Amino acid sequence: MLKKIFVTALIFCVLTSVAFAADKKPKKSVWQPELLVGLFGNVTQVGLKVSAPCIMIDPASKKTLKKIPADKNFVVDFAQMKTAAVEIRPEKILLKDLHTTIDGRKYFGGVRVNKGKSSLTVINLAPVEEYLRGVVGEEMSPAYPLEALKAQAVAARSFAMKNRGRHEKDGYDICATTHCQVYEGFEDFDIVNKAVDETRGEVLTFKEKIADTNFHADSGGMTEAVADVWGTHISYLVPVKELLELTAPWTMKFSAKDFSSRFGDGFGDLKSIKLSKLTVGKGSGDRTSSGRVKSAQLVGTKKTLTVTGADLRRKFSLPSTLFDMKFSGGEVVFTGYGRGHGVGMSQQGAKSYAEKGWKYDKILMHYYSGTKLKKLY
Ligand SMILES: [Zn+2]
């Protein structure tokens, strides 16, 4: 039911954006969806500057409140705002060609300011393709090969389009942090721009709906089933092998005293650890099918605990759950591989496949097997 509502809402968003775009009569080829990206809140004023002449409108009535000249600093102030929100849009050029400086930082597109009970929420009004120019280089290194960056652009676009409205209660679509996708505004890397332009409008779909395109830094050798991380089975987020195994090795050591203390007084002192040996791609009772730690048994002087790999990762800030764990000489040593949750595309893996000559669509089909690449606009 919720899914139905969400899909209806998504279609509505797309249709209203189309209708709005139609009012403005842009060429069909330049149309793209707009995103409301929440930047920050809890302020009583925000300093702004636009790169071209703009109008300030009341988004509810669509009435123009005033004209804003280019390249002049101005302030939107809580005490002086008479409408529940204001939007600043270009007067003559397309939104994608406008840049807005918000509290000293440059962003693509315009701005929307929502007035709350006692403070303002500042939102970047960004066309999706421009937003991606800022996101792709934050989520993946611009030093990576073009085809890996193109795969990242499709994954990031799919995420943005699928999650429009995720922050509806906050008054915007998505936020600019790791909770959604990291976006720090204007960026201009040639290779990132190329990756975005060459995949314009493309998203991954599954059964006619936009797919979940989770990604992570490095799987360490094999990706993880989404069901083993977040509990829900998704047919295209299952373990796949990598070109390289045992990548991104890491070691972390803790004194037995420090280790034991993290499990509370009831645990006592650590006596032994029971965990099968890691083999990438081999599951067992205490490991998932990719080899990640499902659970480990910790024997203490007062109690024996069964702790999940995810809990261990959180408690000790481990880079991943693909690890071995040994207790000897008064020390607990974690030896692991990879970085991140392991679900979906491995960015390091995408890089190695791109270096091998794979195109972005082949890379995407490897990590999200069974999905389809679709051009939305
Ligand atoms: Zn968010």
- Averaged confidence pLDDT in the chain: 93
- Quick one: pLDDT at residue 170? 96
Ligand 1 centroid from CA 173, angstroms = 8
Give the span between the Cα atoms of 173 and 38, in whole angstroms: 7
Ligand 1 centroid from CA 84, angstroms = 22
- Quick one: pLDDT at residue 28? 53
Give the span between the Cα atoms of 304 and 295, in whole angstroms: 13
Ligand 1 centroid from CA 377, angstroms = 24
Ligand 1 centroid from CA 124, angstroms = 14
Token pair for 209: 């709906």
The residues whose Cβ lies within 5 A of ligand 1, an ion, are 175, 179-180
The per-residue pLDDT for range 41-66, each reduced to its tens digit, is: 999 999 999 999 999 999 999 999 99
Ligand 1 centroid from CA 166, angstroms = 7
Give 219's contacts (C-beta < 8 A, 6+ positions apart).
242, 247, 290, 322, 338, 340, 342, 346, 348, 349
- Please indicate whether residue 212 or residue 24 has the higher confidence score (pLDDT): 212
Ligand 1 centroid from CA 179, angstroms = 4
Beta partners for 300?
270
- Quick one: pLDDT at residue 30? 77
- On the 0-12 / 13-18 / 19+ scale of CB atoms within 10 A, 223 is buried
- Quick one: pLDDT at residue 31? 86
Ligand 1 centroid from CA 180, angstroms = 4
Q: How confident is the model at residue 129 (pLDDT cuts 50, 70, 90)?
A: very high
- Quick one: pLDDT at residue 114? 98
Q: Report the range of poorest mean pLDDT among 29-33, 86-90, 148-152, 185-189.
A: 29-33
Residue 144 has pLDDT above 50, yes or no: yes
Q: What is the mean pLDDT of residues 255-263?
A: 97
Closest CA to 369 of 196, 165, 225: 225
- Quick one: pLDDT at residue 22? 41
- Quick one: pLDDT at residue 18? 42
Greatest CA separation for the chain: 74
Order the strands of the 250-255 sheet from edge to edge. Answer: 250-255, 331-336, 323-328
Q: How many angstroms from the chain centroid is the CA of residue 267? A: 37
Q: What percentage of the chain exceeds 70 in pLDDT?
A: 92
Q: What is the mean pLDDT of residues 252-262?
A: 97
- Quick one: pLDDT at residue 2? 43
Residue 177 has pLDDT above 70, yes or no: yes
Beta partners for 204?
373
Ligand 1 centroid from CA 198, angstroms = 27
Ligand 1 centroid from CA 249, angstroms = 30
Give the span between the Cα atoms of 257 and 255, in whole angstroms: 5
* Residue carrying structure tokens 């929100």: 85
Residue 4 has pLDDT above 50, yes or no: no
C-alpha distance from residue 268 to each of 81, 298, 301 (Å)? 60, 11, 5
Residue 343 has pLDDT above 60, yes or no: yes
Ligand 1 centroid from CA 132, angstroms = 15
Residue spans of the domains in the chain: they are 35-201, 250-336
Q: What is the mean pLDDT of residues 87-105?
A: 97
Ligand 1 centroid from CA 115, angstroms = 20
Asked if 330 contacts 256 with a C-beta cutoff of 8 angstroms, the reply is: yes
Q: What is the mean pLDDT of residues 63-82?
A: 97
